Structure 1
């Protein structure tokens, strides 16, 4: 207890008053626990000429200043930061395609025992999700381990209008004819399927022509496999030039974007000599 605002106790984290001030205390409120990070502590008490009070009584004890233990780096992840002393922070990131589950930042806590304030996170290949980046990775749930049974996973890729997705497969292994992956050119379950893949063969790369792409994966109750891994990258959709008009015929269709089709039809009495689709 001191005369409020006039008599005070200052605590410095070091050997003199030029070191870090841990706290300045005055009045009747008992200060909170303090932890220093130095082997020296400097206390300065000041009282003025007027009111006297009961003052203060404090206890101190030594604590180890050893580092926190090296945190476990999550599988398919990485650690950023190498300082493990008290109040230091390390952060974690996941490899492309994985989702961080837990706290991305953990701090080495003060106290009598050095410990982290949170456990290290995990990096998980989830069943479904939203992708809004211009390029990224999508993995089957549990990759590189086997995917679980009875999975129905939907991912949606949302790109800026005027862009499609270039999909390039890196790994593929599912139970043939039973577990499959579908790529749909649009955001709906009814959107056109531009690829349906099952078995052990790595699918070819493909292009979507919508800025919204749906990826759907299904597994049944039986055999489990490692699944798939593919990367996607946005590309700018460009229109083909208008087809040249031709005599005695008409062009059917008005969309000239990459991946779209038009057809040619002849007027009655005329025969088309080339293929009807371009």
Structure 2
């Protein structure tokens, strides 16, 4: 029996070695495209690909022809395992597309007779990978591969057949050149193509390494671009299926001005080391939050708790481009520290992270396309709330924050009904500020009572995050009651209170009005 186990173990080691060796063999190749379609797959497909890979393929068409590639399936780790497609035969050629996550079918055609594909994976999760089909392109180029001269007077460029519809299988290239000392300005006045499969590439220059971007679908308003040099190329590709009206472009020669230059945010604009005090909390946000963050951001924050303590971090708002803008949380200071989590998109799911030591790292990266509001998070030293008292009589102090939370925050709220009676000195009110609130049921609530009143002046009764809001008592007493639903499995609340000089009685904080409206008004879920 022992011999059988040893033989089986040896066979598994050999099989794994052969799989990795095979992956290495197919992971860096030059492939010739032919009229008959061929298939390119990630190592192991349709099963999981290996970690820590760097695969490179160059697909070359015969002289005078182009390569067409269709990605039939893409499924990778959305944050960290990436496929790059470039228009040329090197890693410095213009970027056509960058894929990660779960991507629907897409098609591209080369303009220099070759395509470069790179697939990189990190050391964590693995998925199926990708499958693509490639061949020499079946395209029509007659009457739409033209050289144009830009002048001070605006001129028009339209897709073939505009506005009645373009033909299928087109590959058109317009090269527009400005006079010496000037650059080209192009404005897409009208634009509509088949969103999945027909696209326009705008290339600043005409070499394989020139920068470029893609447009497709419907543009609802005019879009203007200014070239970085004297030449700009407009490349239009249509597939063999549906067609729409196409596009109309206005182009002219202009002087280069500084305002035309794209500003790339500085890397240190949102980078820093944050010392967390032993008592208290802080907030971490994308620059400009809640306004939209910028493109091309690469932010790194390192949160450091006092020695012997741990970091607690939770997110109160997450709104990023789901495909391409990511928040990464790591258990340590370096970019190779263990990943605690990866967040993107628009999420109301409660996200809480704890470090194993006294350091936690947060990275935020955005790409060159869409931008949203970003994120807001709260950090503090990790407290053991499993022994948190469920209610009691408390005394509010001046200029000293005291923190309370639901039992076992932010984990299971244990379905305990808790009531706190908070008292301030005569002439002072109680200020209570929520720094973390998340429940999953509309029957979960926190209620605030002024003195001995039987009616709450504010109530939070929502199943989403609800943070950074302040509540004031008119008297020197405030009752805070937490009523969890019996089915609550995660969440609860955390906040602090402090004594403040009494407010005027005719002052009603707008936050209280909004919460009462939220409780008794329309349900917009």
Q: TM-score, normalised by structure 2?
A: 0.25
Structure with the higher helix share, 1 or 2: 2
Instruction: Report which structure shows greater RCO (CA 8 Å, sep ≥6).
Output: 1
**The structure with more strand, counted as a fraction of residues:** 2
Structure whose CA Rg is larger: 1
TM-score normalised to structure 1 length: 0.45
